[in-house]
Structure 1
Amino acid sequence: MAQQYWVGDFFVDVSRNQITKKEQAQTIAPKALSVLTYLAKNQGKVVSQDELLDAVWQGTIVSPNTLQRSIAQLRKVLGDDGKEQVYIKTHAKKGYSLECNVQWQAGKLQVSSANHSQSEKGLPNAQNDNKKATKPRAVATIFILFLITITAVGYHFWTNSQTPTLTISQIRALTATDNKESSGIYSHDGQFIIFHRFSEQACINNIWAKNIKTQQEFQLTKDLGVYSSHSLSPDGKKLTFISMGDCEEPVLQKKCYKLVSLDFNEALKGPLSPTVLMECKSSEIRNPIWLSNDNIALMHKSADSWKLVNYSVSNNSSEVIYEVENGSVTDYDFSVKKGLIALMSVHQDGQYYIEMLKPNGDVISSNRVQYPEQIGKFRYIYPNFSSLERQLIFSTGKRLFTISTDGKVQSISLPLDQPIGSPKVHPSGGKMLAIKGYYDSDVISVPIADYATLNLDRDSLKERVMHRSNVSEDNAKFQPGGEHIAFTSVRSGERQVWLSDGNSAWQLSQFPLDTYIFSIEWAQDGQSILVNADKELVQLFLDGTERKFALPHSVDKLFQWDSENQTALSLIWLNGAYRLAEIDLPKPSNSVVYDKSAVWAQKSASGSLIYTDLLGRFWQPGPVEDTLISELNGQGSEKRFVITGETIIGINDDLQLWSYSLDNAYFEVVGNAPSNIDFLTDTDGDQLLMSIQIASKKEVVELTFTH
């Protein structure tokens, strides 16, 4: 397929999904561009809807509305209002035609159709024109095109050769308490830092401000709650954030989300209760950022996909800024100084893109992220604007990177002993805030038989800890037919897979720095482990060798592994949505995909699939529709569940451990779970493995950098 061509004064670059006029590039959906290209190849001819659908959406069943949306998008980009239909003409009950000159980058100019010949426009027939008059115009056109090409190539070379870098020269702590701080930002004048502070002892979360010069601290909020990252309005007077809590009357989810605001200057005088601007009971919102003193951008989740919306405070209304067809927005940042939105997204092809937008949603550029070897190809990137012209900055944990607006990632030399979050740059540059700290969790083993009589307070749990360390340990799994327990740990400085025989522990994996491991599963023969590392699946053998499965999609959660049939029960990202799937590892195209998402899922010994939804309800797939296990209503939680034989063991929101038999529908509460439990991870029928939180300490730090 041709990659570049002209439609009138518009330059079309298929490889970059862009249409450019007068150096103003707009990015459109690949399918819409394919529609334009097909019409261009049949310029002047009427192409039926069926032909366009077959050509562009090969093998995919879509409605004519999908094609109509693409046509509408093309007309908007081309400045065609659909009434005069200068570029794309609708032929009632027949189809569409492209009514404009088309010039292919590597070919000859195609003459427009008879309906738009020069003679019909009141001009002389082209064949009778004076050749001396047309030749200079042709030479001038070629010369202009040559200059445009040279300028574009030169600019591209200059931007690549002049890519600036950041060097970190100093890191210093700005807070020093036993609490957990997060989401640090500067005030616009750089006088204050604003951050969350969660007290483990009091179990209270509030937003605080600190005067950097005087070191005086101010508690801004007074209501107990869970808050998101926050943002100051351009005038510096208002603070906005998301407050999350249990829904009084859950509809589709347990949690409700409120967009709230706070008068920053008044809160400095004393803690305030935030004002609710908007509440979501059936969908999720996050990451609010002020665009103007009356408009707040935020991410909104419907079904499994996120889109970027603009909320008007005065009108109490919202409109979509940007959404990805069959894809999802993953993160964004806004620069008041530049007046631009930097947005990360995953598209239908499963690839990750960085897009630059104007606040009204106009796309300036869209480029695929070029992942370096140090970062997994499915790993999300959460960048923030830096002080550099075309560079954003992000963290993968112990390393910092910059990403350019054309998708190129470059490492900043800064190995850390503890992970940090993506930095927020000081208004005047030269410094940036980040969150640095550690999380300490341990693995414990608890007998099921006498569980109800056990003392599971914090002090007693210390006796049940397996190989105590002062870092994060999780995902413990019993070895089938063996004496070992596999678990993940950061005790070597990086998260790796470890083995324990009860007396000693040793590291099995050698994953690169900052590899994120979601979960692990033993093979039935106990000789290898399947690891969900950076959203990819790796089989790790006990001799240290490994096998990576080349899958076309990311694996966000690994629930279970049937090593004999080589299938992995997982949550995958497929065609713009999260889907529960049984992945056929040797032949992914043969995978069984369920038309549903899942929070957690397991299979019983007989092969019965059990999964939970956002409301914590338990379901079993049926021949026609899924069956709700009503006896377990209200028993699901984020603590997960495990299955031994035909018995489900789980923990509810009241921290009660319970069991349920699939054979006879018998339910019972076994006892109370530890108050500091993170997750229930495995059972062998006699013992339960759990991960418990020991401590969590995070602090706001400031990084000084030079260009």
Structure 2
Amino acid sequence: MFSRYWVGDFFVDLSRNQISLNEQTHTIAPKALAVLTYLAKHPRKVVSQDELLDQIWPDTLVTPNTLQRSIAQLRKILGDDRKTQLHIKTHAKQGYSLESEVTWSDDESVALETPAQQERNISSQNATTRLNHTTKNSTQRHRIRKRYLVPLAAIVLLLALGGLATSFYLPAHSTQLTFYKLQAITATDNKEFSPTYSADGQFIIFSRYLEKMCANSLWARNIHTEKEVLLTENWGSYGRHSLSPDGKNLVFIATQDCTKPEKKDACYNLMHVDFQKALQRPQSPNVLLRCQSSTIKKPVWLDNSNIALMQKVSNRWRLIKYSTNSNTSEVLYAPDDRALGIFDYSISERLIATTSRHEDNQHYLDLLTPNGKVISSHPIDYPDEVPKDRNIGPNFSSLEKQLIFSTGRQLFTLSYTGQVAKIDLPLDEPMSTPKFHPNGKRALAIKGRFDTDIASSTLNPPPVANTLPLDTVNEAYPSIARSISREADAAYQPGGNLIAFNSTRSGDAQIWLSGENELRKVSQFPMDTFIHGLNWAADGQSLLVNANSSITQVFLDGSEKNYLLPYAVRQLFQWDSETNTALLLLRIDGVDTLAEVNLIGRDIEVINNKDVKWAQKTDDGQIIYMDKMKQFWRPGIVEDLLIKELYGQGINQKKFVLSDNMIYAINRENQLWSYNLSTNNFSVLGKMHKDVLYLSDIHRGNILFTFVVSAKKEVVELYLE
């Protein structure tokens, strides 16, 4: 059976799931490649949709939309579109045909060239260029005739004798990352995040959190003695940290106490600790820069006196530079026409790498000087393994002109020109993007699972002592579907006995159903999928899901229907299946915007851009929302009105439930409460265990909620070959 073939000038390698032209290689989903292969076996023949669905997805119920997505992926790589169909042609109400010449081969021993490239190579007067081109283009069609093999062999011999061949076959720098060992650094019951090396490579600096991921402290660990040292005297709400190149000053962002209600916009302070003194005794941080009216995050030292950090102004991020010498700041990079993403800085290369989303809706990699001058800007060539709306967080690596990023369970390199390649490192648990040691031979990352369960109770839950062990908590709150992975966002089926929930028990985030003596998966989302919201249809026969920033309707038989929207979906709040309108948080021109969207006509009604965290709509059409400060709002005649009775009740709350004109949620004191929107009456219904995170649904006096079983995150070190 042939594993290689050509479609015109495109080389297809089934063993690698790749399609190549010249030196451009694209990795494609196996099912999409199977569609192309089946069409290639029947060139210039019309193959019906039903035949393709039966052959490619046997014993699986899928909709024609699934096939259409595969065709769209193939056309994008082959240079086709709906109007220009040079390779794959659509035959209305009949099917598809492959109109290109197809050539099959199982010969893997020599280079692959198209006929046009053979002619160019034969006529070339530069033997060195001819050899390099022939040997490097391993993804082109093999049509080299026997009479050319002898001259080519002679050329190889001459180059070898002349000592020139080495420059073509031995790259100056490694082009692959291979990790041969993973070692735990902080194997404790605590939760650690944001590990970095000191500039001299002697210390690992990281954050250690208290329960519920609220307060944290900064720690350092000596690589040689393995001694851990507490750096910050008090626990606080500290963000990512950065140590100056000379190893003297540690900076980080601090916000106000996260256990207290916020009466105004949060104050973000750039804090400082003398690192050398902190190694001897924990220090009380002091303020370098106060931001009262804007959000700042991720400080990174550019040199010993200048710090780059991100600042959010009018709901849009920009990159600024703060000078510790003059106590002044200036804007480094603030493109008005795009949404700025995450950035990283290389001291050795003196380069800033950041991602941004342009007007063409594509993500770009931008390289800047420390003064903010744009050196290059390239679109990121997303492979099929990475969702197109996923914002990539680049980190500099030990490879020349290569960055690295993580999608959770997969690691990738990102070239300075936007090319993405997968790193062969199978992960059994989610892992953060590695931060490299100054010597480039090892890297730090965060590894671990966040294990949550879903449980049910009544609106008057039995009291459970916070000191009870997990087994007793499970007895009080029987789990709907226990696993050692994350289960969340459970919802009752309208008119039925099923419960839908989001789970990573199969390795990836999927929608599962529990009830009627069954437990089954109904979605087939790809690896590293993020799910932000699910809602039942009124008839209980399907669910609307926000998966990877796109809206998909998942039916109980496993089939799917996709809704293409012009903007990325940050959160699905609510769905009215009868009118097919959804309450969504959209990313519009780089700004998170609360909007109501007609999924059929794609009409968008913007409600506000107030950094909404959760929203629901009442039966009479009122939209109740919770903002970033966990305050509750309702619509007013002139402007939205703050629900004063709920001040402080949203602290640490991910979401609330709206039912029969009543708001239900769980507050910081673990109290289950209700609020009547008609009478403005607030009531405490009972107290939950401290490990209960949030309420997700309510029906006929019963509630569903998510609680933490374990949240182990630890620093690990990866060693490179």
Scaled by the length of structure 2, what TM-score is found? 0.72
**Aligned residue for 1:531?**
545
**Aligned residue for 1:593?**
606
The answer to whether the 8 A contact 2:665-2:694 is kept is no
Shift of 1:626: 2.5
- 2:474 matches 1:462: yes
- 2:523 matches 1:512: no
Give unmatched runs, 5+ long, in structure 1.
1-149
Shift of 1:546: 1.0
**CA spacing shift, 1:430–1:693, aligned 2, 3 Å:** same
Shift of 1:249: 9.3
Inter-partner Cα distance in structure 2 for 1:664 and 1:214: 63
**Aligned residue for 1:568?**
582
| SS, match of residue 474 in structure 2 | helix
**Aligned residue for 1:627?**
641
- 2:709 matches 1:694: yes
| SS, match of residue 407 in structure 1 | coil
- The amino acid of 1:655's aligned partner reads N
The answer to whether the 8 A contact 2:463-2:688 is kept is no
Inter-partner Cα distance in structure 2 for 1:666 and 1:624: 24
**CA spacing shift, 1:281–1:201, aligned 2, 3 Å:** closer
Shift of 1:623: 5.3
**CA spacing shift, 1:250–1:467, aligned 2, 3 Å:** closer
Match of 1:678 among 693, 700, 706: 693
**Aligned residue for 1:9?**
none
**Aligned residue for 2:280?**
269
Shift of 1:674: 3.0
Inter-partner Cα distance in structure 2 for 1:636 and 1:303: 24
- 2:417 matches 1:399: no
**Aligned residue for 1:558?**
572
Inter-partner Cα distance in structure 1 for 2:533 and 2:340: 25
The answer to whether the 8 A contact 1:246-1:256 is kept is no
Inter-partner Cα distance in structure 2 for 1:634 and 1:251: 9
- 2:439 matches 1:428: yes
Partner deviation per Cα, 1:188-217 (whole Å, 9 max, x = no partner) = 221221111225499863211112222222
- 2:655 matches 1:640: yes
- The amino acid of 1:362's aligned partner reads K
**Aligned residue for 2:301?**
290
- The amino acid of 2:291's aligned partner reads C
Which residues in structure 2 correspond to 1:7-46 (within 5 Å)?
A: none
**Aligned residue for 2:449?**
438
**Aligned residue for 1:390?**
401
- 2:249 matches 1:238: yes
**CA spacing shift, 1:201–1:563, aligned 2, 3 Å:** closer
Partner deviation per Cα, 1:336-375 (whole Å, 9 max, x = no partner) = 1001100112234433221000111111011222211111
**Aligned residue for 1:669?**
684
Inter-partner Cα distance in structure 2 for 1:606 and 1:690: 26
Match of 1:577 among 591, 599, 611: 591
- 2:354 matches 1:339: no
**Aligned residue for 1:327?**
338
The answer to whether the 8 A contact 1:225-1:243 is kept is yes
The answer to whether the 8 A contact 2:408-2:432 is kept is yes
- The amino acid of 2:205's aligned partner reads I
| SS, match of residue 608 in structure 2 | coil
Shift of 1:328: 2.6
Partner deviation per Cα, 1:606-647 (whole Å, 9 max, x = no partner) = 222111222333223345433333333333333321111111
- The amino acid of 1:325's aligned partner reads D
**Aligned residue for 1:98?**
none
The answer to whether the 8 A contact 1:349-1:575 is kept is no
**CA spacing shift, 1:290–1:689, aligned 2, 3 Å:** same
Inter-partner Cα distance in structure 1 for 2:395 and 2:643: 44
Inter-partner Cα distance in structure 2 for 1:546 and 1:564: 18
Aligned-residue Cα RMSD (Å) equals: 2.5
Inter-partner Cα distance in structure 2 for 1:517 and 1:258: 32
| SS, match of residue 531 in structure 1 | strand
Inter-partner Cα distance in structure 2 for 1:455 and 1:705: 48
- 2:187 matches 1:164: no
Shift of 1:429: 0.8
Shift of 1:536: 0.9
- The amino acid of 1:382's aligned partner reads G
- 2:187 matches 1:173: no
Inter-partner Cα distance in structure 2 for 1:174 and 1:615: 35
**CA spacing shift, 1:665–1:217, aligned 2, 3 Å:** closer
| SS, match of residue 297 in structure 1 | strand
The answer to whether the 8 A contact 2:237-2:257 is kept is no
What is the count of residue pairs matched by the alignment? 547
**CA spacing shift, 1:377–1:387, aligned 2, 3 Å:** same
Inter-partner Cα distance in structure 1 for 2:629 and 2:240: 24
Partner deviation per Cα, 1:202-235 (whole Å, 9 max, x = no partner) = 9863211112222222221221112222111111
- The amino acid of 1:648's aligned partner reads I
Match of 1:377 among 363, 381, 388: 388
- The amino acid of 2:608's aligned partner reads D
Shift of 1:653: 3.6
**CA spacing shift, 1:522–1:429, aligned 2, 3 Å:** same
Inter-partner Cα distance in structure 2 for 1:420 and 1:615: 29
**Aligned residue for 1:473?**
487
The answer to whether the 8 A contact 2:382-2:420 is kept is yes
- The amino acid of 1:591's aligned partner reads I
**CA spacing shift, 1:195–1:348, aligned 2, 3 Å:** same
Shift of 1:406: 1.6
**Aligned residue for 2:220?**
209
Shift of 1:327: 3.1
- The amino acid of 1:454's aligned partner reads P
The answer to whether the 8 A contact 2:340-2:590 is kept is no
- 2:505 matches 1:491: yes
The answer to whether the 8 A contact 1:555-1:571 is kept is yes
| SS, match of residue 713 in structure 2 | strand
The answer to whether the 8 A contact 2:464-2:688 is kept is no
Shift of 1:250: 4.7
Inter-partner Cα distance in structure 2 for 1:204 and 1:377: 34
The answer to whether the 8 A contact 1:568-1:584 is kept is yes
Inter-partner Cα distance in structure 1 for 2:339 and 2:364: 10
The answer to whether the 8 A contact 2:308-2:322 is kept is yes
Partner deviation per Cα, 1:158-196 (whole Å, 9 max, x = no partner) = 9x9989222222222222211111111111221221111
Inter-partner Cα distance in structure 2 for 1:250 and 1:282: 14
| SS, match of residue 229 in structure 1 | strand
**CA spacing shift, 1:249–1:562, aligned 2, 3 Å:** closer
| SS, match of residue 594 in structure 1 | strand
Partner deviation per Cα, 1:389-445 (whole Å, 9 max, x = no partner) = 211000001110011122121111111000110110110112111111111111111
Inter-partner Cα distance in structure 2 for 1:642 and 1:456: 25
Shift of 1:534: 1.1
The answer to whether the 8 A contact 2:593-2:609 is kept is yes
**CA spacing shift, 1:566–1:667, aligned 2, 3 Å:** same
| SS, match of residue 256 in structure 2 | strand
**CA spacing shift, 1:480–1:193, aligned 2, 3 Å:** same
Which residues in structure 2 correspond to 1:414-425 (within 5 Å)?
A: 414-425=425-436
The worse-fitting range, judged by mean Cα deviation, of 405-414 and 476-485 is 405-414
Inter-partner Cα distance in structure 2 for 1:502 and 1:205: 43
The worse-fitting range, judged by mean Cα deviation, of 619-628 and 679-688 is 619-628
